[in-house]
Structure 1
Amino acid sequence: MHPRFWGQGVGTEIGRELLSRGFEELDLHRIYATCDPRNLGSARVLSKLGMTWEGRHRHTTLIRDGWRDSELFSILEEEWRAI
């Protein structure tokens, strides 16, 4: 997302919509998301959505300056419905 939209709740709203579609329309049981450990804003959004931090996957993506880890978050349908 473009930086000028950071901090305005846009990411959280997009996340809510994606979770809603996943659980309501696609009948998913579990949804997960990852983010770069250095991206604290994304981690906050995932937590705000009710997702649980599950851990860190090491060296999952090769980007310009080398390998990056990924933080893994997930939410189960029953957890989402309880929010």
Structure 2
Amino acid sequence: MGFGFDQLGLREVSAGCDPANVASARVLTKIGMRPAGYRHNHLQIRGQWRDRLLFAATSTG
């Protein structure tokens, strides 16, 4: 995220994971991201529509 904010000048970095993947959600929280939403049937993986848990971090500067 530092590269995105510091080098690229981004205002926000976002990520998503499968809601059932608790470990991924924990990692995103640990690196400073916060829950930003929940998308039902957001993308198709192997022929099945899947939900996504969304996270985001905003620039402090």
> TM over 0.5: same fold?
yes
> Structure 2 counterpart of 1:57, which letter?
R
Q: Larger RCO: Structure 1 or Structure 2 (Cα < 8 Å, ≥ 6 residues apart)?
A: 2
Question: Which is higher, the Rg of structure 1 or of structure 2?
Answer: 1
Kindly indicate whether residue 15 of structure 2 is the aligned counterpart of residue 33 of structure 1.
yes
1:60 is displaced (CA, Å) by: 1.1
Deviation at residue 55 of structure 1 after TM alignment: 1.6
| Larger relative strand fraction | 2
Number of residue-to-residue matches in the alignment: 61
TM-score normalised by the chain length of structure 2 = 0.90
Aligned-pair CA distance for 1:65: 5.6
Please point out which of 29, 39, 46 is paired with 1:47.
29
Q: Following TM superposition, where does structure 1 have runs of at least 4 consecutive aligned residues deviating by more than 2 angstroms?
A: none
Instruction: Structure 1: give runs of 5+ residues left out of the alignment.
Output: 1-18
For structure 2, which runs of at least 5 residues remain unmatched after alignment? none
**3-state SS, counterpart of residue 39 of structure 2:** strand
Distance 1:69 1:40 in 2: 14
Match of 2:53 among 67, 71, 77: 71
Aligned twin of 1:60: 42
* 3-state SS of 2:9 partner: coil
TM-score by length of 1: 0.68
Higher helix fraction (1 or 2): 1
